[in-house]
Amino acid sequence: MNTMEKWKKENRDYLHEHLRSEAKHFPGQSVASILADIAKTSEDQRLRWAAATELNDQKGLADVARNGKHDEARVIAAEKLVNDDLAQQAFIEIAKNTDNDYFVRESALINLKSRIVLADIAINDKNENLSIKTINRLSHLASILSFNEEKLIDEILAFIAKSKAHFKVREKAIEKLRNESILREIIGGSPEKYVFEERVFTGNYDTWEHDTYTVDLRKTASSRLKALQYRETHECKDHMQSGYCGICGRHEHAWVQNGGGSGSGLVISWCYYCHTYGAYYDDTGTDVSLVNTPDFSSLVITSHNCEDFKAADGVCALC
């Protein structure tokens, strides 16, 4: 049992013990109703977390997400809601509430879908780390949505990059931009450079060193433009890392087999990285469809192409 599972079990046991000892205070109530009441109003943080985590009734979850007294329980409830509109309403309220703990706001923010709210937090929030998180969230949304949505998010990133947001937030927005014309506009614009002083951990909590961190937006834009252009011209085979191109993310299958040679019978051929597979009889050459997915961990690799597994030093990683 890992640490998280152990922690959840301890909280669950704590909740169940509370329910047993306080059963007389909940006459006639359903379990879902009791859990919702605890998640909504309890001043005991462990109880709130455990109750919200255990609660699966959609009506109860909606009640906690909408009316919960403590926002960390509202986040847990909203994450489990089927009604996405209601969940998003809760996430917006929690993420924009500057009185909340940073980690509570972050938990809401990473679930947000509203581009307008994300842009508002990026530009206007006083917590620069949270603002930077919004840039990452916008970039993630761009990667999973349609082409038109991706273009819209790129326009939002461009707006943030040229706004009066914190320099580090603008730098992050530029690093995620895909619009080459905006990048060229920034490169050709007025110099914008800012030097920050940062504390550097030395390994001793009693002593910290100070260092400087320079944000040069024109330099950042130039580096991003070169990276975008290189994505169009690079050779994926020169940047393969565990089956994926480190530049564009393109996946290349690396095939292995468990056949013992011609005429050995059933042979399974599969991609070492993504487990796409096929099967055939090498004595007859007949392809077959397996009823169950093979247990790849138990298959013995008997053949592969060394070129597919060649590391930077030129040595095959498998043999």
- Among the three residues 177, 201, 216, which one is the final residue of a domain in this structure? 177
pLDDT (mean) for 178-197 = 86
Percent of the chain's residues with pLDDT above 70:
91
Total tally of structural domains belonging to the chain: 2
Can you tell me the mean pLDDT for 81-94?
94
**Vertex 248 angle, CA 136 and 254, to 5°:** 125
Specify whether 170 is located in the same domain as 55: yes
274 and 145 together in one domain: no
Do 13 and 129 share a domain, yes or no?
A: yes
Same domain, 149 and 62: yes
**Claim to verify: residue 170 and residue 273 sit in the same structural domain:** no
Q: Are 132 and 168 in contact (CB under 8 A)?
A: yes
CA distance 135 to 108: 14
Which pLDDT belongs to residue 209?
A: 75
Any domain includes 36: yes
* Residue 297 structural domain: 255-309
203-212, 230-239, 263-272: segment of lowest average pLDDT: 203-212
pLDDT at 205: 67
pLDDT at residue 75 in the model: 94
Is the pLDDT assigned to residue 206 strictly greater than 80?
no
Instruction: List, in order, residues 6 or more apart from 9 with CB less than 8 Å away.
Output: 1
The answer, yes or no, to whether residue 41 has pLDDT greater than 70, is yes
Bigger pLDDT: 293 vs 240: 293
Q: How many CB atoms lie within 10 A of CB 286?
A: 10
Q: Kindly state the average pLDDT of the residues 4-30.
A: 78
d(Cα 153, Cα 143) in Å, to the nearest integer?
10
Other residues' Cβ atoms within 10 Å of the Cβ of residue 157: 27
pLDDT at 302: 87
Residue 109 belongs to some domain of the structure: yes
Q: Do 137 and 284 belong to one domain?
A: no
Query: Which tokens in the block code for residue 285?
Result: 């050459």
Residues making up the chain, counted from first to last: 319
Residue 223 lies in a domain: no
pLDDT of residue 311: 66
pTM for the predicted model, two decimal places: 0.66
Query: Is 201 inside any structural domain?
Result: no
- Can you say whether the dihedral through the CA atoms of 42, 43, 47, 49 is positive or negative? positive
Question: Which residue reads 């100070």 in tokens?
Answer: 210
What mean pLDDT comes out for the span 235-251?
71
Same domain, residue pair 266 and 172: no
Q: What is the rounded average pLDDT for all residues in the chain?
A: 85
Are the C-beta atoms of 254 and 273 separated by less than 8 Å? yes
pLDDT for residue 147 = 66
Higher pLDDT, 88 or 19: 88
Q: Which domain-ending residue is among 143, 177, 211?
A: 177
pLDDT of residue 310: 74
Of 124, 146, 177, the position where a domain reaches its end is: 177
pLDDT at 312 > cutoff 70? no
170 and 274 in a common domain: no
Among 78-82, 194-198, 212-216, 232-236, name the most confident range: 78-82
> Domain containing 105 — which CATH number?
1.25.10.10
Q: Which residue has the higher pLDDT, 309 or 177?
A: 177
Q: What pLDDT sits at residue 282? A: 82
Q: Provide the pLDDT confidence category of residue 307 given band limits of 50, 70 and 90.
A: confident
Across residues 134-161, what is the average pLDDT? Answer: 86
Same domain, 158 and 262: no
Q: Which residues pair with 214 in a beta bridge?
A: 195
25 assigned to some structural domain: no
Contacts of 207 (CB under 8 A, 6+ apart): none
Whether 37 is in a domain gets the answer yes
pLDDT score at 19: 78
Phi and psi angles of residue 303, each rounded to the nearest 5 degrees, phi first? -150, 145
259 and 169 inside one domain: no
Higher-confidence position of 272 and 313: 272
Residue 236 within any structural domain of the chain? no
Low-confidence winner among 129-133, 141-145, 302-306 (lowest mean pLDDT): 141-145
The type of residue at 296 is F
Residue 108 counted as domain residue: yes
User: 157 and 263: one domain?
Assistant: no
Lowest average pLDDT, out of 41-55, 96-110, 115-129, 270-284, goes to 270-284
